[in-house]
Chains A and B, each alone.
Chain A
Amino acid sequence: MTKHRLPYALTATGVVTLLGALALVFFFAPQDAVQGPVQRIFYVHVSAAIAGFACFGVVVVASVLHLVRTGAASDRLARAAAQVGLVMLTVNISMGIVWAKPIWGWDPSQTWDARFTTTVVLWLIYAGYLLVRKFAAPGRQASRLAAVVGIFGFIDVPIVYFSVQWWRTLHPSLRAGNGQPALPAAMLLTFGVTAVAMLILTAALVSVRYSIEQQAEEQESRATNASLELAR
């Protein structure tokens, strides 16, 4: 417990802030006049995307560190962040689909929305990142090859972000035409709190994944040492 205090602390904080955020989403934020209650999906949908992007940002930083210094910790962090980032992006995509269905009458066979498409591509890139880890020789090779994929894969993040400006898309912009936020203050506050709560929860998940990876490595190293002892 004392050794792995950070995951517990982050999980507790994340759960409390997320409960607070959900209270704001359902009881404080005003109902959208046009879309009705389904618009409340927005708060978790966008926050999950931000959390996913943050995870992939961590993958890039940890991958660069790993290539420069070849440390086990940075590789472990990149691995953990990529897994959690994929989970967050899955939440974002599935929430988006649920939201889009009644509002746009959305049918993927008819509407290949630019932001949706680029987000799916991002998901595929980091799924490929995990596949590289699976198919490369474990250890140094897997971590170095995956680091290169993790760095190059981040190219898609700005493309997802700017897709609403570059292409005709059904996604609304967070800014109105005059540069002012497109949301009223109560909605903005709710969105801000939900985004922070999701980021804390994401950090908790990354730290849990990190400590699982660390324990697995320690166990493997103990098993190798034990078999070496037996061989002697």
Chain B
Amino acid sequence: MRSLQIALAVARKDLRSEWRGRELLPALATFVLLALVIANFAFDLNGASVPRLAPGILWLVLVFVGLVAFGRSFAGEKERGSLEAMLLTPAPAGALFAGKAGAAGLVLLATEAVLLVGMALFLGAPLSAAVIAITFAASLGIAALGSLFAALVAQTRAKELLLPVLVLPLWLPFVVLGGRALQEAFAGQAMRPGPSLLLLDLGVLFWIAAVLAARFVLDD
């Protein structure tokens, strides 16, 4: 119970800091819109090709946004030396991690909202409940793994280089499962709850594993 309160307090602190500073979210939203403009020109999109290409564009933008969102979450704390200060408190490392990962995950969800709306407006990709459910379900596991490895690389030299090398291969199950489900959703097929539930299951599993591993990553 106390761990949950600590996690919520850390998440609140991160979200408040983001709300007051307004640094990450506007930058990520701009990045998302720019990426969509580039995709539009790069793929020469039209009504016929959008349903086929939209899942790929969505995942490409999403993983790069994730790299920045999670990378900043721990790198900023490390640069300010505030991570060490938090670790000096008696709060369990797992709770601190869960709070930071939760806040970074919410930032990712907000960016996804911009991405989905942008795709509907600029690319004409159909925005349905299935698309939203699949994207948000995949974010759970992406946030857990992304935050764990962002915390890990924050302790090393060459963080910017290591984060994509380590986390992109591990995000692959989400991209594969989510990509397949989004292909169906963008093609207008009826929503099947299976893929979203599987993504949620995987997400919960990775959250538990990441919170358990956080002690070893943040300990140093």
Contact = CB atoms under 8 A, between A and B. Distances in A.
A179 to B, nearest CB: 26
Interface residues of B, number: 23
B209 A152 contact: yes
B28 interface: no
Contacts of B173: 155, 159
Contact of A147 (B161, B162, B166, B216): B216
A195 interface: no
A156 B155 CA distance: 24
A74 to B, nearest CB: 14
Contacts of B166: 125, 128, 131-132, 149
Interface string B194-220: 000000000000000100010011011
A141 B220 contact: yes
B156 A151 contact: no
B162 A152 contact: no
B169 A121 contact: yes
Interface string B133-149: 00000000000010011
Contacts of B170: 125, 152-153, 155-156
A226 interface: no
B165 interface: yes
B172 interface: yes
Contacts of A147: 216
Contacts of B149: 149
A231 to B, nearest CB: 27
Given A128-B169, A144-B219, A153-B170, A135 B157 contact: yes
Nearest to B217: A148
Nearest to B157: A135
Contacts of B88: none
A67 interface: yes
A100 interface: no
A50 B78 CA distance: 40
Contact of B155 (A145, A151, A153): A145
Nearest to B152: A145
Given A128-B165, A152-B170, A145 B209 contact: no
Provide the main secondary structure of the chain A interface: helix
A172 to B, nearest CB: 22
Nearest to A123: B169
Contacts of A151: 213
Given A128-B169, A136-B155, A148 B213 contact: yes
A128 B162 contact: yes
A148 B220 CA distance: 13
B190 interface: no
Nearest to B145: A152
Nearest to A122: B169
Contacts of B213: 148, 151-152
Contacts of A136: 155-157
Contact of B162 (A118, A131, A159): A131
Nearest to B214: A148
A135 B148 CA distance: 17
Interface of B: 145, 148-149, 152-153, 155-158, 161-162, 165-166, 169-170, 172-173, 209, 213, 216-217, 219-220
30 contacts: A67-B216, A121-B169, A122-B169, A124-B165, A125-B166, A125-B170, A128-B162, A128-B169, A131-B162, A132-B152, A132-B166, A135-B158, A136-B155, A136-B156, A137-B220, A140-B220, A141-B155, A144-B219, A144-B220, A145-B156, A145-B217, A145-B220, A148-B148, A148-B217, A149-B149, A151-B213, A152-B148, A156-B170, A159-B172, A159-B173
Which 3 pairs of residues, A with B, have the shortest CB-CB distance? Answer: A135-B156, A141-B220, A136-B156
